[in-house]
Chains A and B, each alone.
Chain A
Amino acid sequence: MSAFILSGLVIGSIYAISALGLVLTYTSSRVLNFAHGALAYFAAVFYYWLNNQQGWSIPAAAIVTILVMCPALGLFLWAILFRRLTHAPSEVRFVSTVGLWVALPALTKILFPFSKTETFDAQGLVKSPPDIFNVLGINVNENQAAVLISAVIVVVTLTIVLRATPIGLTTRATVDSPRTARISGINTSAITAGSWMAGTALAGFAGVLLTPILGLSEIQFTFLLVVSLAAAVIGRLTSLPLTFAGAMAIGLIQGISVDFLPDEGVLARGFRPSLPFVAMLIALLAYQGLRRERFEVDLRAGPAEERAPVPERWRGWRAAIGPLTLCIILLSVPLWLDDFWVGVVSQGIALAILYLTFTLVIGEGGMLSLCQITLAGIGAFSAARLAAESGVPVGVALLAGAAIAVPIGLVVALISLRLGDIYLALATLAFALLVENLVFARSDFENFGAGVALARPVFLGIDFNDRTNFYLLLVAVFLLSALLIATLRRATSGMVFAALRSSETASATTGIGVVRTKLILFAASSFIAGLGGGLLAMTIGRATTTTFNLLVGVVWIAIVVTWGVRSVVGALLAGIIFAVIPQQLSLILVLIAVMIVAGLIVRLIITKSIRTPIGAISGVMLLIGGIFIVRWLLDIEVSESWVDVPTMLFGLGAIGLAREPQGLVADTINRFRLRRIRTEARLLNTQSQVGT
């Protein structure tokens, strides 16, 4: 028993170090960093590289990683990203850090190719294998001792710094009220920068300590993130002592549970991942009374930042040009692509249907759901098992699967939505991890990687096993869903969604049912997720656990945001590109290179600097350089090592385009129109000033 308590304390200490870093950065900047686990992962890989591969001694590697590299990385990220996010709308904050969560592990794998495979021989802060010694009758190994001592050091240092130094006083002032702190002459930027440096260092510290215990794999660090978030929720995202206690409690329960649980089976595998969800659930239900506080925070927050308006839509017959062209291109695909590529594009369309769930939930609702892929998986597995076991016709099973996803999605939304958007993100993340480990990992779902087969339907005398027929079915479903979304957006509901995204406070006082509207949107998006999941499984032929993996879902968010999270065309492009990546990596890379160059040139034109000599020269250079890059990319053999490049770029794309919900293509075009509107607005401003 005491051994289990000890191991619980050890793992709890690691969770606590990580969670303290997370809360520290959140309180100082109001940005909840979903890349916290990714930062820990990067630091752990970096430490492994220094220590195991470069042969640095443990102290040198530890100091360089935790006290030099991590703070520098934190400072860098603060300067280029987090600093700008404090006053951004909540979905921008969310999507940006999710983008970083996608980009950072991909970058890690590009920089340190060894990290593509899991390694288990990492050393922590003591040499491996650690010596074992006896304290009060309990066998403690050096590694465990090192972790416990580290936790004590972190807690003591934080307490001293925050409670007994001027830095602590100014930090607490900044956390309480940034504006008042600024007015009283506190350099709040330095405080937030400092807390990001400290927070990143704590993430790295946790990463270095975690590796020898759980191995160096990305998924372990996702789990670290989720536990840290759960602990942070227990601390109501602000209280360091409560967060610490929460993390320790989760660690202890996890450690002690080993003593009671069976060695094999779902319960043994599922208990650990379900812990953070259960902890979060209890905390969320306990904190339901927090609503008043939330509104107070809203009322006292700093000024909301200006947002780019949606440009006017074309009206009349011109409004039909875009959709018609889209239909023609999509329907004609079987005419100009061979069977193989029709299959690839089919998968893309199935993904695109699924991605419309993000269009609704993030794009329209501004809600930060991380469990859409899980809902898709629920839809797919339900459909597949219904069809296989109950003999329900496949088409009916598909719709039933989608319908099953709705109440499940609603429950997750319901327990968290009243507390605010950030809690929805947390609850959906924990829920995704829970289902993935407790349900999808069951042997009757996972089936040694083969999953559950899902046949294509035959109805009305049409055999959808035929590639072209099935492709056309998918296109029909996509176009219908897209049409429904577009209709909704143009109606009163569209205005209601836009109002909610801009100001929940004013929406509420105008009489709009905030929670009600969001629940409806969430239900609709769950249905689309379930339907798309089923269709995707049908396209592949089976519903598998690997298709509906949380980390894949995060990449999906990044890619959809890059191509336009509020645009159905964005969902379509994202789906097709995600399906094409494994087939034609170089093509995608060329496409991205072209987009980057084109985007830069458009920006040069808009800022008018292209009319200056330097601007003109740089424009021409970009063009020539772009052509060379494209040619070079087309010529090179794309090897394994490039696999992570698109993922990284889409992560970066999500960061860069988080503020521009229309996505890359539309945004580039819109910039021209926006400039015109801005000029007019400026004229209006001057006129009204002259008037007074």
Chain B
Amino acid sequence: MRNPLLSAESITVHFGGVVALDRVSLAVDEGSFVGLVGPNGAGKTTMFGVLSGLIRPNSGKVAIDGVVVTRSTPQRRAKLGVSRTFQRLELFGELTVREHLVLAYRVRQRRDRSFFRDLVGLGNRPSPGEDAVVDELLRLLTLRDVANRPAVLLPLGTGRLVEVGRALAGSPRVVLLDEPTSGLGSDETERLAATLQSIRAEHNVAFVLVEHDVDLVLSLADTITVLDFGQIIAQGTPEDIRASREVQEAYLGVITEPN
């Protein structure tokens, strides 16, 4: 059996006395779309921290292509193709929108290590293929109008799109999206969903999506994991999740009937 692209096995995380995650497992296959839902405080963002290397779990293991990376740095995981966005924006305030994407692209080419090359004045030339990738992403994410604006002055919704752009510009294999649509209007959300689907189809990129907009997750994801108080209460296809009694009780019971 082939190893999943990114997998987490039996992850447990404590913050002081609070159990944020309790033996949670998750597998992301190449090119798949995984939804991660649950009420506030369910442990979704903590799970992203564990997957991206910002939080070291108390127990359990994370693997990329079957190689255990539980103790690897975020940098190493990024080099192996894991990138992410942040629910609370973590933009590079002084850089322009375009520079966010350019930087992510160049880091993947290891140009963040080109100190001496930069010192002699060769450091601001675009890498091969850089302009094409960056401009295409800016177009897809409707960021062309603000491309040369410093990120610090962007409205929240636009900032989320920049986060998505930065995560995608480094040609990742799996992207963890932490509530990318909060702050976006409904047509912007639809557009983002379409963009994600087309990128997934074209480049075989896998996505893990944390979202409050459950309809969106149900429509995009192949498999969905539902967390509550740090525990998995349901895991399966969107149809399974819709049908699951536990989920309806814990979480979905209040939302409108799916169409």
The residues of A with any CB-CB pair to B shorter than 8 Å are: 292, 295-296, 298-299, 303, 306-310, 312, 484, 487-488, 490-496, 498-499, 501-503, 505-514, 516-517, 520, 677-678, 681, 684-685, 688-689, 691-692
List the 8 closest A-B pairs by CB distance, nearest first: A491-B123, A511-B78, A692-B185, A309-B150, A491-B118, A506-B90, A681-B153, A508-B74
Bitwise, B61-90 to A at CB < 8 A (1) or not (0) is 000000000000111011100011010101
Is B166 within 8 A of A510, CB to CB? yes
Query: Which residues in A have their C-beta under 8 angstroms from that of B108?
Result: 511
Query: Which residues in A have their C-beta under 8 angstroms from that of B112?
Result: 492-493, 496, 511-513, 517
The residues of B with any CB-CB pair to A shorter than 8 Å are: 15, 45, 49, 52-56, 73-75, 77-79, 83-84, 86, 88, 90-95, 99, 102-104, 106-108, 111-115, 117-124, 146, 148-150, 152-155, 157-158, 166, 170, 185-188
* 8 Å CB contact of B83 from A484, A502, A510: A510
B238 to chain A, nearest CB (A): 27
Is A510 within 8 A of B53, CB to CB? no
A303 to B93, CA, bound (A): 13
Is B154 within 8 A of A487, CB to CB? no
27 of the cross-chain contacts (CB-CB < 8 Å) are A296-B55, A299-B45, A307-B93, A310-B94, A484-B119, A491-B121, A491-B124, A492-B106, A492-B124, A493-B112, A493-B115, A496-B103, A498-B92, A499-B92, A505-B90, A506-B86, A506-B91, A508-B75, A509-B53, A509-B54, A510-B83, A511-B83, A511-B108, A514-B75, A678-B153, A688-B155, A688-B158
* Number of A-B contacts defined by CB within 8 Å: 158
Query: Which residues in B have their C-beta under 8 angstroms from that of A508?
Result: 53-54, 73-75, 78
Residue of A nearest to B185 (CB): A692
A522 to chain B, nearest CB (A): 12
Query: Which residues in B have their C-beta under 8 angstroms from that of A496?
Result: 103, 107, 112
Query: Which residues in A have their C-beta under 8 angstroms from that of B104?
Result: 510-511
Which of A501, A503, A514, A689 has most chain B Cβ within 10 Å? Answer: A503
B81 to chain A, nearest CB (A): 10
Query: Which residues in A have their C-beta under 8 angstroms from that of B95?
Result: 495, 498-499, 502
**Contact (A309, B90) CB under 8 Å given A299-B49, A492-B112, A509-B53:** no
Query: Which residues in A have their C-beta under 8 angstroms from that of B154?
Result: 681
* 8 Å CB contact of A502 from B54, B77, B93: B93
Query: Which residues in B have their C-beta under 8 angstroms from that of A503?
Result: 90-92
Is A511 within 8 A of B107, CB to CB? yes
**Contact (A502, B111) CB under 8 Å given A295-B55, A487-B118, A685-B155:** no
A492 to B93, CA, bound (A): 16
Residue of B nearest to A677 (CB): B153
Residue of B nearest to A512 (CB): B112
Query: Which residues in A have their C-beta under 8 angstroms from that of B15?
Result: 296
A307 to B93, CA, bound (A): 7
Query: Which residues in A have their C-beta under 8 angstroms from that of B83?
Result: 509-511
Is A509 within 8 A of B123, CB to CB? no
* 8 Å CB contact of A505 from B54, B94, B111, B118: B54
**Contact (A492, B114) CB under 8 Å given A502-B92, A510-B78, A688-B155:** yes
- A491-B119, A691-B185 are known contacts; what are 10 more A-B pairs with Cβ within 8 Å? A484-B119, A491-B118, A491-B124, A506-B90, A506-B166, A510-B78, A511-B108, A517-B112, A677-B150, A685-B155
* 8 Å CB contact of A306 from B49, B93, B124: B93
Is B54 within 8 A of A492, CB to CB? no
A390 to B73, CA, bound (A): 46
A97 to B230, CA, bound (A): 41
Residue of A nearest to B87 (CB): A299
A685 to B121, CA, bound (A): 37
Is A493 within 8 A of B94, CB to CB? no
Is B74 within 8 A of A509, CB to CB? yes
Which of B74, B84, B111, B186 has most chain A Cβ within 10 Å? Answer: B74
Query: Which residues in B have their C-beta under 8 angstroms from that of A307?
Result: 93-94, 152
Is A487 within 8 A of B158, CB to CB? no
Residue of B nearest to A508 (CB): B74
Residue of B nearest to A493 (CB): B118
Residue of A nearest to B153 (CB): A681
Residue of A nearest to B145 (CB): A684
Is B103 within 8 A of A499, CB to CB? yes
Query: Which residues in A have their C-beta under 8 angstroms from that of B73?
Result: 508
B181 to chain A, nearest CB (A): 12
Query: Which residues in B have their C-beta under 8 angstroms from that of A299?
Result: 45, 49, 54-55
Is B54 within 8 A of A295, CB to CB? yes
A299 to B15, CA, bound (A): 12
Which of B49, B77, B122 has most chain A Cβ within 10 Å? Answer: B49
B85 to chain A, nearest CB (A): 9
A327 to chain B, nearest CB (A): 18
A486 to B185, CA, bound (A): 41
A496 to B102, CA, bound (A): 11
Query: Which residues in A have their C-beta under 8 angstroms from that of B185?
Result: 691-692
A298 to B53, CA, bound (A): 13
**Contact (A511, B152) CB under 8 Å given A492-B118, A502-B92:** no
Query: Which residues in A have their C-beta under 8 angstroms from that of B106?
Result: 492, 495
Query: Which residues in B have their C-beta under 8 angstroms from that of A490?
Result: 123-124
Query: Which residues in B have their C-beta under 8 angstroms from that of A312?
Result: 148
A216 to B163, CA, bound (A): 55
A507 to B111, CA, bound (A): 14
Is B91 within 8 A of A684, CB to CB? no
Residue of B nearest to A504 (CB): B90
A495 to chain B, nearest CB (A): 5
Is B86 within 8 A of A505, CB to CB? yes
Is A487 within 8 A of B92, CB to CB? no
Is A506 within 8 A of B152, CB to CB? no
Query: Which residues in A have their C-beta under 8 angstroms from that of B93?
Result: 306-307, 309, 502
